């Protein structure tokens, strides 16, 4: 499976760099955090780390991040895919993934196809501004899984790219941990423009009579952008169904009970043979999700 190939690659690259704790020629904006796990905390919780790292700007951090988070993100997406009635009826998937990173949504779709209809094909177009993903994307593009048909990646600002290159025939749009990343990097005001661009250049260009499914998966906290989920619903026109889900993970207030609770929050991919102990990877799903199915 794709998830195993990418985790094996990132694990090998990270260990080969001999940087289990401290990176040589560290590019930290203030002082070295002492390890990639600490740098990830600074990225995700910027208010608690003045002068901390703000983005995935280091290849070692990228490889560590994949080994730490990929099972969590792919599992959360697979839980959401299983909730969609429209997806199960499509004969193929033409996916636009915004801020795709290591493409955990593609990994989830591969497993979903194997569960539902192994003859379906996946066409995937991922947009990400960070060119440090290129080595991982090359591995993904050379992957020969049965259901994975056509893979493309574009390194650009998603809003600008879509405004200049309207897309036709897309039937799945994925926003996975994109909204919280805008928040973490101090660019939350750009979310409105992104949603507008998706509506005008993707949703309005859908094939007549065919649905578009929008999958949003992100941090379960309105303090990190979850309230913007509803804005995506408004742009989508709400001409169909909408469902909301959450995982029972460290619920601290009723606001986190966002729609329907998933019955479980366990990881759905077995990576036990990948030897990931040094990363202390996530072991539970924790996100909030919105599923929009446009007729």
pLDDT of residue 21: 54
Span 117-162, pLDDT tens digits: 999 999 999 999 999 999 999 999 999 888 999 999 999 999 999 9
DSSP 28: -
* Of 1 and 22, the one with more pLDDT: 1
pLDDT of residue 187: 80
pLDDT of residue 19: 58
Asked if pLDDT for residue 94 goes beyond 60, the answer is yes
Span 204-253, pLDDT tens digits: 999 988 999 999 999 998 777 777 877 877 777 756 789 999 999 989 88
Q: What is the mean pLDDT of the chain?
A: 92
pLDDT of residue 226: 79
Asked if pLDDT for residue 42 goes beyond 70, the answer is yes
Asked if pLDDT for residue 18 goes beyond 70, the answer is no
Which DSSP string do the residues of 156-224 spell out, in sequence order? S-HHHHHHHS---S--EEEEES-HHHHHHTT-GGGHHHHHHHHHHHTGGGSPTT--EEEEEEE-S-GGG
pLDDT of residue 100: 97
**% residues pLDDT > 70 (the chain):** 97
Pairwise CA distance, residues 228 & 26, whole Å: 35
What confidence tier does 105 reach under pLDDT thresholds 50, 70, 90?
A: very high
Pairwise CA distance, residues 270 & 111, whole Å: 12
Q: Which domains does the chain have, with CATH numbers?
A: 69-294 (3.40.50.150)
Pairwise CA distance, residues 171 & 23, whole Å: 41
Q: Which residues face 115 on adjacent strands?
A: none
Distances (CA, A) of 153 to 100, 135, 150, 156: 9, 12, 10, 10
pLDDT of residue 134: 97
Token duo for residue 159: 């809003």
């Amino acid at each position: 499976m794709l998830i195993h190939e990418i985790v094996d690659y990132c694990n090998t690259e990270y260990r080969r760099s001999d940087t289990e704790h401290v990176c040589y020629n560290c590019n930290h904006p203030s002082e070295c955090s002492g390890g990639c796990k600490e740098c990830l905390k600074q990225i995700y919780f910027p208010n608690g780390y003045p002068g901390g790292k703000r983005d995935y700007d280091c290849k070692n951090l990228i490889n560590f991040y994949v080994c730490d988070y990929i099972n969590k993100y792919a599992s959360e997406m697979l839980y959401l895919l299983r909730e969609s009635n429209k997806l199960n009826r499509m004969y193929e998937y033409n996916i636009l993934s915004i801020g795709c990173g290591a493409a955990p949504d593609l990994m989830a779709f591969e497993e979903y196809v194997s569960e539902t209809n192994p003859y379906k094909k996946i066409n995937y177009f991922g947009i990400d501004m960070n060119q440090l993903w290129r080595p991982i994307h090359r591995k993904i593009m050379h992957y020969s899984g049965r259901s994975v048909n056509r893979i493309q990646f574009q390194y650009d600002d998603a809003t600008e790219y879509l405004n200049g290159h309207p897309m036709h025939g897309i039937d799945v749009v994925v926003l996975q941990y994109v909204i919280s990343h805008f928040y973490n990097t101090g660019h939350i005001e750009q979310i409105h423009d992104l949603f507008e661009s998706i509506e005008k250049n993707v949703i309005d260009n859908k094939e007549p009579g065919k649905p578009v499914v929008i999958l949003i998966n992100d941090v379960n906290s309105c303090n990190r952008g979850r309230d913007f989920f509803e804005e995506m619903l408004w742009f989508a026109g709400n001409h169909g169904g909408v469902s909301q889900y959450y995982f029972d993970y460290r619920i601290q207030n009723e606001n986190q009970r966002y729609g329907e609770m998933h019955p479980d929050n366990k990881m759905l991919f077995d990576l036990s043979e990948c030897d990931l102990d040094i990363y202390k990877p996530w072991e539970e799903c924790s996100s909030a999700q919105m599923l929009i199915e446009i007729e």
